[in-house]
Amino acid sequence: MIHVENLTKYYDDLLAVDHINFDVRKGEIFGFLGPNGAGKTTTVRMLSCLTKITEGEAYINGYSVKKDKKMVKKSIGVVQDTANLYGDLTVKQNLKFIAELYGVDKKRVNEIIKEFELPADRKFEKLSFGFKKRATLAAAVLHNPPVLFLDEPTVGLDVRSSYAIQKLILRLNKEGHTIFLTTHNMQIAEKLSHRIAIINKGKIVAIGNKYQLKTLLKKKIKIEVEISNIQKQITSELQTFSPRIEGNKVIFFAEDVHEFLEQFYQITKKYNIKTKSINTVLPSIEDVFLEVTK
Amino acid sequence: MKKAYYIAKKDFFEYFIKPPTLSWGITFPIAFALSFLIRGKDLFFLAPGLITLASFFGTTSMASAAIVFERRMKEFERMIVAPLDYWEIVLGKMIGSFLFGMLTSIVTILFIIPLLGMYSLNLGTLGIALVLSSLVFAAFGVYISMMINDPRNVMVILNSVRFPMMFLSGVFIPLNTYPFMLQIIAYALPLTYEIELLRWVLTNNSFLNPFITIFGSIIWILLFFVLSIWALKRRY
């Protein structure tokens, strides 16, 4: 559904996206992750005809983003990182305007208002942030596009609103929309995406489903240790196990648990550190992300 | 064409028929005209220039406010991701500003005509002059707003163009008294043609031939329209 070949973007001398290649299959939710400034938004903007492509080519629904812009625009719905509907218009006026731009029957406006449970006559600027996001999503699907680009759809939302948007994304996917999801939230990416690509410094550094991505970790076993007091020595002396402090726990990664435990036991004994608990857990996408974007 | 109308209609409800905008569209031209007319000198000479200036400042400010605000809030990109032709976006934005320019001009004229006793005006030619000047200024405002890279700078850029124009377009001093080089510069400014056209309609005493001013206005409209489309294409 989306085919990207050597896609490149320069802003003057700055290389923002560096010859990236990937495919998004019909009907999948494709998570697109990366640290700030990695090139996520630039990629989405190029694919949605908002930024010119410097080099390479991209095809959406079979149409060239460079040559068939109008057909590409008919095939996509875009939710940007800001809730960008018109503040002084009501939700209904906003959706009616979008429907007019896309040549969509106005009956669809009422349908979508019902479907997304939106307050039709409330001015957009008066809506809560959660409803603003929901209305923006409604505007993106009004013309029923096969592909949806969602750039940080849950950012800034409280847990309940974020959950509601996630449910909507899953529902839209079930209804047949292919979804290109850009997010900073690893849990959401892991939960919703069929496949994930990680971009770093303009390059795709990992791509695959969550199981494939986790095999990229050289040290595949994640060990969570809770100790009486976290001391410098425990992280410095066990540096080979990539320690990371998370609250009152220290996270380690190991290929061989026995080897880790042996060394860990010696250190705790040496510095008189009491161990409260040790657990081995499966690594998450967040762990993969931290590894590949080092 | 229909989609341009939808954009203009949206702008009309979103920006133009708001109490602050309307009061500005009415009070600004009146205050502006009064500040000159109160001295009572050369009123017949000044009136066409003042009416045109009120429309010039109102229309260009409104065009830029509507576009720049939308560009900053990324609302403008809604139209870019929609399957529209760029000329439809430019035309839609122009129509909205044009309507505001007409309002400003009409308010100023209604205020000035009784002051000067110009009751035997040809409404047809007056209408043509106002429509043409509002369209020129709307196209000019749209072009400047599309061209600038940082939307926050629009007023600085707009004013750095508008104020010199104000003094070089024959508002306060007759064009034929300008030194030759300044006359050449004046002919290269869109404001000159609109002032001269209205001067001909109101006082029948213009320096430029009215047909030249009408032709010049049409050229300016087309030029800024095409340049705005080019500026959009360059950006997206």
Write out pLDDT tens, residues A41-62: 999 999 999 999 999 999 999 9
Name, in order, each residue with C-beta under 8 angstroms of B63's C-beta and a sequence gap of 6 or more: B93, B94, B96, B97, B137, B138, B140, B141, B142, B144, B145
Q: Report the relative pairing of strands A221-227 and A203-208 from DSSP bridges.
A: unpaired
Q: Spell out a b/e string for A66-95, using b for 16 or more CB atoms within 10 Å of the CB, else e.
A: eebbebbbbbbbbbbbbbbbbbebbbbbbb
Task: Give the count of beta carbons closer than 10 Å to the beta carbon of residue B152.
Answer: 10
Residue B20 predicted with pLDDT over 80:
no
**Would the CB atoms of B81 and A78 count as touching at under 8 Å?**
yes
Residue numbers in A near B75 (CB within 8 A): 84-86
Residue A219 predicted with pLDDT over 90:
no
Distance from CA of A10 to the nearest CA of B (A): 14
**Would the CB atoms of A73 and B81 count as touching at under 8 Å?**
yes
In what side-by-side order are the strands of the sheet with A221-227?
Answer: A244-246, A249-254, A221-227, A275-281
Note whether A102 contacts B: Cβ–Cβ < 8 A.
yes
d(CA A154, CA A149): 13
Note whether A52 contacts B: Cβ–Cβ < 8 A.
yes
Residue numbers in A near B14 (CB within 8 A): 86, 88-89
* Per-residue pLDDT band at B169 (split at 50, 70, 90): confident
Mutate to test the interface with B, among A70, A86, A149 (most CBs of B within 10 A): A86
Average pLDDT over residues A199-228: 82
pLDDT score of A21: 94
Q: What is the rounded average pLDDT for all residues in chain A?
A: 88
Of A8-22, A46-60, A169-183, B171-185, minimum mean pLDDT range: B171-185
* Per-residue pLDDT band at B42 (split at 50, 70, 90): confident
Residue A227 predicted with pLDDT over 90:
no
**Would the CB atoms of A50 and B236 count as touching at under 8 Å?**
yes
**Would the CB atoms of A89 and B77 count as touching at under 8 Å?**
no
d(CA B104, CA A159): 49
d(CA B144, CA B142): 6
**Would the CB atoms of A48 and B13 count as touching at under 8 Å?**
no
pLDDT score of B194: 93
Average pLDDT over residues B154-179: 86
Mutate to test the interface with B, among A97, A121, A148 (most CBs of B within 10 A): A97
Name, in order, each residue with C-beta under 8 angstroms of B206's C-beta and a sequence gap of 6 or more: B196, B197, B199, B200, B213
Note whether A86 contacts B: Cβ–Cβ < 8 A.
yes
Residue B26 predicted with pLDDT over 80:
no
Report the Cα–Cα distance between both ends of chain B, in Å, rounded. Answer: 21
Instruction: Give the pair of three-digit tokens for residue B49.
Output: 């220039």
CA atoms within 13 A on the CB side of B77: 22
Of A51-60, A133-142, B164-173, minimum mean pLDDT range: B164-173
* pLDDT tens profile B81-139: 999 999 999 999 999 889 888 888 888 888 877 877 777 778 888 899 999 999 999 99
Note whether A271 contacts B: Cβ–Cβ < 8 A.
no
Q: Please state whether B170 falls in left (phi above 0), alpha (psi between -120 and 50) or beta.
A: left
Residue A230 predicted with pLDDT over 70:
no
d(CA A245, CA A265): 18
CB contacts < 8 A (A, B): 62
Q: Which of A195, A274, A230 lies closest to A33, judged by CA? A: A195
Burial class (CB in 10 A: 0-12, 13-18, 19+), B40: exposed
**Would the CB atoms of B74 and A84 count as touching at under 8 Å?**
yes
pLDDT score of A284: 79
Domain architecture of chain A: domains with CATH: 2-214 (3.40.50.300), 221-292 (3.30.70)
Are the CB atoms for A49 and B236 separated by under 8 Å? yes
Backbone angles phi, psi at A217, to 5 degrees: -70, 125
Residue numbers in B near A101 (CB within 8 A): 3, 6-7, 78-79, 82-84
B interface residues, A as partner, C-beta within 8 Å: 2-3, 6-7, 10, 13-15, 18, 73-75, 77-85, 236
d(CA A40, CA A37): 7
